[in-house]
Chains A and B, each alone.
Chain A
């Protein structure tokens, strides 16, 4: 079975600082990996995804993530945090077998002025 582990339920950074949200996955087949963001009282919005090809994936709002097969990781980064980045971030895994998304527990990002 697939699984996702997000280290750190809450991450706090200063405005302008690097954002690093960690995600490790388990999958018996090549994974499809996703990061979704959830703003308060809203639905899930796709930030970026990896399916095949280039392992460094760029998404919306300046976020990017790198698929590292050897480390089974798909960490999310942003060079400079903005106040508007404060939200809950979910890593999810699927694969070519049409399996439903399996989500991590989420990481709440706080940005301090």
Chain B
């Protein structure tokens, strides 16, 4: 069964460093998402991406964040200058063309900013 994959599974970084989280969505999906979950809290939407551009973003997704689909398979989330409060589990998700289709989530990248 097709699945969303994410790398790395864990990332530890120093405050102020740049990190890139990588995702490979399901191959025929058209909509891509990043969510995050701070430890013990609910899953929060960051950004959605369709047709090579951001379609929607939340208040969390400020200028420190960017997304890119550098090739036909990868979808990346970059945090330019990490802060302590960026420590969280970051989930990538993808879905097909219709709104009622399921968003499939990857296993997540646990980011720890020291």
Contact = CB atoms under 8 A, between A and B. Distances in A.
Given A90-B43, A105-B41, A36 B105 contact: yes
A44 to B, nearest CB: 4
Given A43-B106, A98-B31, A32 B42 contact: no
Contacts of A42: 107-108
A98 B55 contact: yes
Range of interface residues on B (Cβ < 8 Å): 20 to 34
Interface string A88-113: 00101011111111111110000000
Range of interface residues on A (Cβ < 8 Å): 20 to 34
A104 to B, nearest CB: 6
B42 A90 contact: yes
Interface in B89-114: 91, 93, 99-100, 102-108
A14 to B, nearest CB: 26
Contacts of A103: 42-44
A19 to B, nearest CB: 20
A100 B99 contact: no
A77 interface: no
B82 interface: no
Interface string B43-66: 111001000000110100000000
B33 interface: yes
A78 interface: no
B105 A43 contact: yes
A28 interface: no
A51 B105 contact: no
A4 B99 CA distance: 19
A44 B100 contact: no
Contacts of B42: 90, 103-106
Interface of A: 32, 34, 36, 42-46, 49, 51-52, 90, 92, 94-106
